[in-house]
Amino acid sequence: MSEQQEFSQQELESVDNEFELIPPAPEGLRSGFVGIIGRPNVGKSTLMNQLVGQKIAITSPIAQTTRNRLRGILTTDNSQIIFVDTPGIHKPHHQLGEVLVRNAQVAISSVDLLLFVVDGSVEVGGGDRYIAELLARAEAPIILGINKADQQLSASPDEVREAEHPLDRGYRELAENQGWAIAKFSALTGDGIETLQAKLEQSLEPGPYYYPPDLVTDQPERFIMGELIREQILQLTREEVPHSVAITIDQVVEEPTITRVLATVNVERPSQKGIVIGKGGEMLKAIGSAARQQIQKLIAGKVYLELFVKVQPKWRQSRTRLAELGYRLEE
């Protein structure tokens, strides 16, 4: 056995323990991987958080906030659904964008079911039709999910349930042309989510538990901490520091009464560093305070969060820097 193939006894025991956590699936359990696909900012991350029942993907009014293929896990008495939340599919403008879109396209071909999410508060557009063309070549079954039903003006409860609002007609036509099922809902309010969940379950084949039933994500806690910090930067700085920010969690120290987290905010230009820090450090303080509250909810304990800001010129254009910051092209 070569050096690269050797495993320590501790590593082997860790693998054994992980498998012991996954019990046999009850008879008739349906399971599988569901790819959540759509244009940027149609509510994919909000939807996954709503389905899983816990915040694991960041949300923001700024498009293109999802960068990694997050897996959210929903386990019920009848099913285990693993949601793969992908970046919005769009025309890439830099190396980071190319990696994100390529990873989203990989997800299309590697899941058991696809949920194509669209924005029901606006008419069907060219971006939706472009994605529909990509999905026409997919082998997995597809459900068209009309989100943001709560934002349709004068929509009646019947229109929300039946996808009969005037704005739905273009989406319904798109789905009928492809033979796709339709579900309408509001990821924000939760209306229609139970019906969507039932359709997802019915579309999956009987299968095993892929993860322990009590797990809600396969992402490490450190990654989610970084995402929660990045979310606050996007929300508080808005268009001033759009996507030129990446977070690295440098240290997590767990003490009996508090968890200490040290993190670095990486930006591309000195001017962006000034925006993140703010006058007299006020912006960085606000970001840290808001992020700390979210992290405390995540770990259910008290958190001390210290943030540093570092300039990494043109990190989005460099594959090496992207890899260092956790953005890798998936095979």
- Domain ranges in the chain are 3-203, 221-324
Give the tokens for residue 113.
């079911």
Q: How do strand 259-267 and strand 246-254 relate by DSSP bridges?
A: antiparallel
For the chain, the residue count is 331
45 phi and psi angles, rounded to 5 deg: -70, -40
- Name which of 20, 34, 7 is nearest 207 in CA terms: 34
The residue-averaged pLDDT of 175-182 equals: 93
- Give CA angle at 27 (22, 31), nearest 5°: 60
Average confidence score pLDDT of the chain: 79
The residue-averaged pLDDT of 177-190 equals: 93
Provide, for the chain, the percentages of residues in helix, strand and coil under a 3-state DSSP scheme, each rounded to the nearest 5: 40, 20, 35
Give the tokens for residue 145.
């999910």
User: What region, left, alpha or beta, does residue 53 occupy, with left being phi > 0 and alpha being psi -120 to 50 degrees?
Assistant: left
The residue-averaged pLDDT of 24-49 equals: 89
Residue 105's pLDDT is 65
| Amino acid (1-letter code) at residue 125 | G
210/10 Cα distance (integer angstroms) = 23
User: What region, left, alpha or beta, does residue 87 occupy, with left being phi > 0 and alpha being psi -120 to 50 degrees?
Assistant: beta
Q: Where are the alpha helices (DSSP H) in the chain?
A: 9-20, 44-52, 95-108, 126-135, 157-162, 169-178, 193-203, 221-237, 270-277, 282-299, 319-324
| pTM summary value | 0.63
47/158 Cα distance (integer angstroms) = 21
| Amino acid (1-letter code) at residue 101 | V
Residue 190 reports pLDDT greater than 70: yes
Residue 85's pLDDT is 72
Residue 15's pLDDT is 42
Strand order in the sheet with 303-311: 246-254, 259-267, 303-311
The residue-averaged pLDDT of 267-272 equals: 86
286 phi and psi angles, rounded to 5 deg: -65, -40
| 263 class by beta-carbon count within 10 Å (0-12 exposed, 13-18 middle, 19+ buried) | buried
DSSP 8-state assignment for residue 121: T
- What is the greatest pairwise CA distance in the chain? 68
Domain 221-324 in CATH 3.30.300.20? The answer is: yes
The residue-averaged pLDDT of 256-284 equals: 90
- Name which of 267, 277, 272 is nearest 311 in CA terms: 267
Q: Which CATH number describes the domain made up of 3-203?
A: 3.40.50.300
The listed range with the strongest mean pLDDT (219-228, 277-286, 298-307) is 277-286
Q: With both helix axes pointing from N to C terminus, report the angle between 270-277 and 282-299 in degrees, rounded to the nearest 10.
A: 70
Residue 322's pLDDT is 57
Q: Which residue has the higher pLDDT, 25 or 87?
A: 25
pLDDT band at 292 (very low <50, low <70, confident <90, very high): very high
